[in-house]
Amino acid sequence: MPAVPERLRALLAPEAPLQQLAQLFVDAGREVYLVGGSVRDALIGVDQHDVDLTTNARPDEIQSLVAPWAEQVWLQGKTFGTVGCSRGDMQVEVTTFRAEVYRPDSRKPIVSFSDDITTDLSRRDFTVNAMALRLPDMELIDPYGGTADLAAKRLRTPMEPKVAFEDDPLRMLRAARFMTALSLEPEPELVRAVEQMANRLEIVSAERIRDELSRLIVLPDPSIGLWFYVRTGLAAQFLPELPGLMLEQDPIHRHKDVLAHTIAVVAKTRPDLRVRLAALLHDVGKPRTRSFDSGAVTFHHHEVVGARMAKTRMRELHYPNDVTDDVVQLVYLHLRFHTYRMGWTDKAVRRYVRDAGPLLDDLNQLVRCDCTTRNQAKARELSRRMDELEWRITELRAQEELDAIRPLLDGNQVMVFLGVNPGRVVGEALEMLLDVRLDEGPLGEEEAYKRLESWARERDITPTGNRPT
C-alpha cells in the first residue's frame, strides 16, 4: 500500500476535526471512509480543499451524526444520499454507499443505497476516483487498481465504460477533464464507448454540462480535453459551433483550420472563465461569413455574427447573464484593435477604451493571444502595436479621466439650455456631446455649451440659453 502522504496524516491525526467527525460514525457502529478525489489528490500531493466521506449510515442518520460536530449543515443533496457540513474552513460531504443509475430517457437519477464500500466504489466514474481510506485506521481500499492507474497515467472506469456512462452520461465530459488535469491516457475501450454514446448527453441538464465545461476550460491548458470533446462527438451535442470550425481553412493564421487556431488561443489566454470562453467562441462566426474574393477567403463581420451566436449558445447552457454579456462583448470587440492600423491617436484610444469599458484588460489579453501565427515578423509587429496601445492608454489616463468618459454636459443641462422636455432631441444632443468628448478630449463647460448651441441651431432649435441653477 502507498505511504499515506504527510499532509493527509495531519488531516487525519487523532485530534484533527475530521477524525473527530469520523469517530462519531464509528462510535455509532457505522463504517466511514475518505473517498474519491480526496484520496486521489492526497496520493499525488495536491492540497485538500473539500473533503468527501462515504458511509453505510443512511441520510437521516448522517444528519443526526454530523449535527454535534458541524457549525453548518446543508441538505440540498439529501435526496441523493448526501449531507453537507462545515466546521471552520473545512467543508465535508458525507454520502451513503450508493448506486446511481439514470433512467434511459430522464435527467432524474434513480438512487439506491448499498451496504458495502466495494459496491459503492464500483459505481464511481473512474478507477482513480474509486479509492477509499478507512477511518480512523487509514486502511486503503482500492479494489479497482486506482493507485496503479495513477502511476501508469491511465484513465479507466471501474466497470465496463458503457455501464459507467449509462449510469451518468456526464462522466464522458468528466473524462476529458481528468485526462487534461492529470495527464491520463484513456483506454481505447473508454474512447470507443464515448464515441458510441455521445448522444446520451441529451438527458443531462444544461447546468451540469455548463459546470463541467467551465471546470475544463479554466485548467492551465485545456487543449487535450477540448480535442477530446470534438473528436469523440461530445462537442456536437452541446457546443456544435466548435467542431463546425474544423472545416474552415483560415488564411490569416497558419493552422490546419480555425478549430486548431481557436484551441491554441484558448491555451494561450490566462485561465479566467470569461476570457477563456471568449477565446473559445471568438471565431464561431467564421463558417457563416466565409466568402471568396479574388481567390482569397474572407470572413467579413464574423465578429458581429459570432457575438450573436455566442449569446445564443451561452444562454442555452444557462450561463449567468453577467458572464454571457461579458463574453459576447469580448467576441464582438476582438477585432476592434485591428481597425486602428494607422496608429493610436488620442481619438482612437478614447473610443477603444470607451467601447471596452471594464473589459479592457480582458480584451487586450484576447487580442494578444489571438495571434498564433508562426510568422515571427507578424507576431512581433502585432505585439509592438499592442504595446503601443497600452502605453498610449497609460499616457492618456494621466491627462484625463479616460475610464469615465461621459458627454460634456448632462441631460438636465441639455434640457434647460435647449428648453426641451425629455425625449429624442436630448438623446441626440448627448450623443453629439459624447462624440465631441471622444474626438477632442475634455473641452470645459463653456465650450460644451457653444457646441450645443451650434448643433441646436443647425436643427432649427432655438436655445433658451438658460443653465441649471
Q: Check residues 195 and 385 and name the one with the higher pLDDT.
A: 195
Residue 223 has pLDDT above 80, yes or no: yes
What are the C-alpha distances in Å from 24 to residues 14, 54, 68, 69?
A: 13, 13, 9, 9
What percentage of the chain reaches a pLDDT higher than 70?
90
Q: How far is CA 402 from CA 314, 323, 413, in A?
A: 31, 24, 22
Model pLDDT, residue 1: 44
Angle formed by the axes of helices 273-281 and 302-316, to 10°? 120
**Would you say how long the chain is, in residues?**
469
Q: How far apart are the first and last CA of the chain?
A: 83
Whole-number pLDDT of residue 400: 63
pLDDT for the residue 430: 84
More confident residue, 327 or 429: 327
Per residue in 142-172, pLDDT (tens digit) is 999 999 999 999 999 999 999 999 989 999 9
- Taking residues 122-134, what's their average pLDDT? 95
- Which range among 115-119, 124-128, 343-347 shows the weakest confidence by mean pLDDT? 343-347
What is the average pLDDT value for the chain, to the nearest integer? 88
**Check whether domain 153-238 has CATH 3.40.50.620, yes or no:** no
Region 195-216: mean pLDDT is 96
> The cell 475518505 sits on which residue?
34
Of the candidate ranges 280-294, 356-370, 383-397, the one whose mean pLDDT is the lowest: 383-397
pLDDT of residue 345: 77
pLDDT value at residue 327: 98
The answer to whether 269 touches 227, Cβ cutoff 8 Å, is: no
Evaluate whether 123 touches 97 at the Cβ level (below 8 Å).
Answer: no
Question: Is domain 6-152 annotated with CATH 3.30.460.10?
Answer: yes
| Chain-centroid distance, C-alpha 285 | 20
Give, in degrees to the nearest 5, the angle at Cα 431 between 427 and 432: 120
Alpha helices in 252-300 (DSSP H): 258-268, 273-281, 286-289
Q: What's the rounded mean pLDDT across residues 214-240?
A: 98
Average pLDDT over residues 434-445: 81
Tell me, what's the pLDDT at 155?
98
- Grid coordinates representing 434? 459624447
Strand boundaries in 263-402, DSSP class E? 291-293, 296-298
The mean pLDDT value for 213-232 works out to 98
Q: What is the mean pLDDT of residues 317-321?
A: 98
The domain segmentation of the chain, as residue ranges, is 6-152, 153-238, 269-403, 406-458
Please report the pLDDT score of residue 254 as a whole number. 42
Rounded to 5°, angle at Cα 186 from 49 and 121: 55
pLDDT at 256 over 50: no
Task: Give the pLDDT of residue 300.
Answer: 75
Q: Which residue has the higher pLDDT, 281 or 18?
A: 281
Q: Work out the average pLDDT over 119-141.
A: 93
Q: What whole-number distance in Å separates Cα of residue 280 and Cα of residue 229? A: 13
- Does the bond joining 136 to the residue before it have cis omega, within 30 degrees of 0? yes
For range 48-61, the mean pLDDT: 90
Q: How confident is the model at residue 255 (pLDDT cuts 50, 70, 90)?
A: very low
Give residue 83's pLDDT.
Answer: 97
* Res 274 pLDDT > 50: yes
Q: List residues bridging with 185 in a β-sheet.
A: 154
Tell me the backbone φ, ψ of residue 172, rounded to 5 degrees.
-65, -40
| Cell numbers given for 391 | 502605453
pLDDT of residue 253: 44
**Nearest-angstrom CA–CA distance, 191 and 232:** 7
The model's pLDDT over 321-363, given as tens digits with 9 standing for 90+, comes to 999 999 999 999 999 888 776 667 777 888 888 888 889 999 9
d(CA 285, CA 18): 51
Between residues 379 and 295, which one has the greater pLDDT? 379
Instruction: Provide the grid cell at 276.
Output: 477563456
With cut-offs at 50, 70 and 90, classify the pLDDT of residue 121: very high
**Backbone Cα Rg of the chain:** 29
